[in-house]
Amino acid sequence: MFELLGIPPQALFGQLLIGLINGAFYAMLSLGLAVIFGLLNIINFTHGAQYMMGAFVAWFLLNSALGLNYWWALLIAPIVVGITGIVIERLLLKRIYKLDHLYGLLLTFGLALVIEGLFRNYYGSTGLPYSIPPQLAGGHNLGFMFLPNYRAWVIVFSLAVCLGTWFVIERTSLGATLRAATENPTLVQAFGINVPRLITVTYGFGVGLAALAGVLAAPIYQVSPLMGSQIIIVVFAVVVIGGMGSIMGAIVSGFGLGVIEGLTKVFYPEASNTVIFVIMAIVLLVRPAGLFGRAR
C-alpha cells in the first residue's frame, strides 16, 4: 500500500470529496454574488446575511403553526428572502447605481450589520437546532469513507442549480437580454425592455440563491445569526478568484477552492482559513481579472 505524503490514498479520496461538498456551498453563494455584480455592478456584502436569513426562514417554517418541512423550505425560503431583496433594491440600492463600487459595498455592509444585529437581538447567538430531513438521514460506506446521504444530496442539488443558472444566463434569450443589459442598458431600454425591472428581478434572484444555500446549510451547520458573516469574506475571495461577474468562474472556482481548502485541512489544518487568501493574492497578481474574468 503506497502512501502520499503520509496519508493513505483512501483518506485522501475522502478529503477530496468533502472538499467538493464544501465547494458546493461556495459555488452557490459566489454564483449569486457574481450574478448580482454582473448586472448591478454592486458587491453585495449583504449576501452573508441573506444566506443566514434563508436558514432562519427554514427554521421558522418548521416551527410555525404550519410545521412545513425541509422540502417546503427549499421552495419557500428563496422566494421569501428574494422578496426582501427586491424591497431592499427598490428602496435603497437603486439610489446608488451611478456611484463608485465602493459605495455599494459600504451600503450593503451596513445593511448586513443591521440584519445580523436584529436577528441576534431576537434569537441570541448560540443558534437553533434543525435536523436533517428523515428521507436523507443515514449514509453509505463508500469503502474509503462514510458518506452521509445529506452531503451527497447537497453536492447533486447545488450542481444542478449552478448549471441551471449558467444555462439560463449563457444559453437562453432571457439570459442574452440580461447580458446585453449589463453591457449597454440604454440600448436595451431603447428596445422596449424594462431594464430597471430586470435589475430588480435579478437582484431578487441572486439573493434567492443565497437563501437557498442557507436552507441547504441549515441541517449541517448551526442556524445562527453569525453564520453569514463567517463565510462571506471567503466567498468574496472565491468570486474574485473566479473573476468578478463571471458565472462559470464563480462555479468552477467555488468547487475548486473547496477542494484546495479540504486538502489544506489535511496537510496544514491551521492554515485552512488563510489558504484562500494566499490563492487570491497570487491569482490577482498574475491574472488581474481573475481566472475566468474578462478585463473591463
Q: Are 47 and 28 in contact (CB under 8 A)?
A: no
Residue 95 to residues 43, 74, 92, 218, 227: CA-CA distances in angstroms? 15, 32, 6, 33, 29
- What's the closest the beta carbon of residue 141 comes to another protein, in angstroms? 9
Report how far residue 191's alpha carbon sits from residue 148's, in angstroms, rounded to the nearest whole number: 51
Which among 71-79, 139-147, 164-172, 193-201 is the span making contact with another protein, rule CB under 8 A? 139-147
Half-sphere exposure of residue 135, counting CA atoms within 13 Å on the CB side? 4
Which among 71-79, 148-156, 189-197, 204-212 is the span making contact with another protein, rule CB under 8 A? 148-156
Q: Tell which one of 92, 152, 159, 193 touches another protein (CB under 8 A).
A: 92
Cell representation of residue 142:
463508500
Q: Are 272 and 264 in contact (CB under 8 A)?
A: yes
Question: Residue 189 or 230: which CB sits closer to another protein?
Answer: 230
- What's the closest the beta carbon of residue 39 comes to another protein, in angstroms? 16
Q: What is the dihedral of CA 136, 165, 18, 283, to 10 degrees?
A: -170
- What's the closest the beta carbon of residue 198 comes to another protein, in angstroms? 23
Q: Tell which one of 80, 86, 113, 193 touches another protein (CB under 8 A).
A: 113
Residues 152 to 211: which contact another protein by CB under 8 A?
none
- Neighbour tally for 134: CB within 10 Å: 9
Cell representation of residue 3:
502512501
Which among 61-69, 73-81, 117-125, 155-163 is the span making contact with another protein, rule CB under 8 A? 117-125
Give 287's DSSP letter: S
Question: Residue 174 or 278: which CB sits closer to another protein?
Answer: 278
145-154: burial string, b at 16+ Cβ within 10 Å, e else:
bebbebbbbb
Size of the site for another protein (CB under 8 A): 75
Residues 203 to 262: which contact another protein by CB under 8 A?
217, 220-222, 224, 226-227, 230-231, 233, 236-237, 240, 244, 262
Question: Residue 174 or 282: which CB sits closer to another protein?
Answer: 282
Residues 5 to 64: which contact another protein by CB under 8 A?
11, 14-15, 18-19, 21-22, 43
Tell me phi and psi for residue 114, to 5 degrees. -65, -50
Residue 266 to residues 44, 84, 262, 269, 272: CA-CA distances in angstroms? 32, 40, 7, 6, 9
Contact letters for another protein, residues 267-296 (x by CB under 8 A): --xxxxxx--xx-xx--xx--xx-------
Question: Residue 49 or 188: which CB sits closer to another protein?
Answer: 49
- What's the closest the beta carbon of residue 9 comes to another protein, in angstroms? 13
Question: Residue 227 or 247: which CB sits closer to another protein?
Answer: 227
- What's the closest the beta carbon of residue 106 comes to another protein, in angstroms? 5
- Neighbour tally for 144: CB within 10 Å: 16
Question: Residue 189 or 273: which CB sits closer to another protein?
Answer: 273
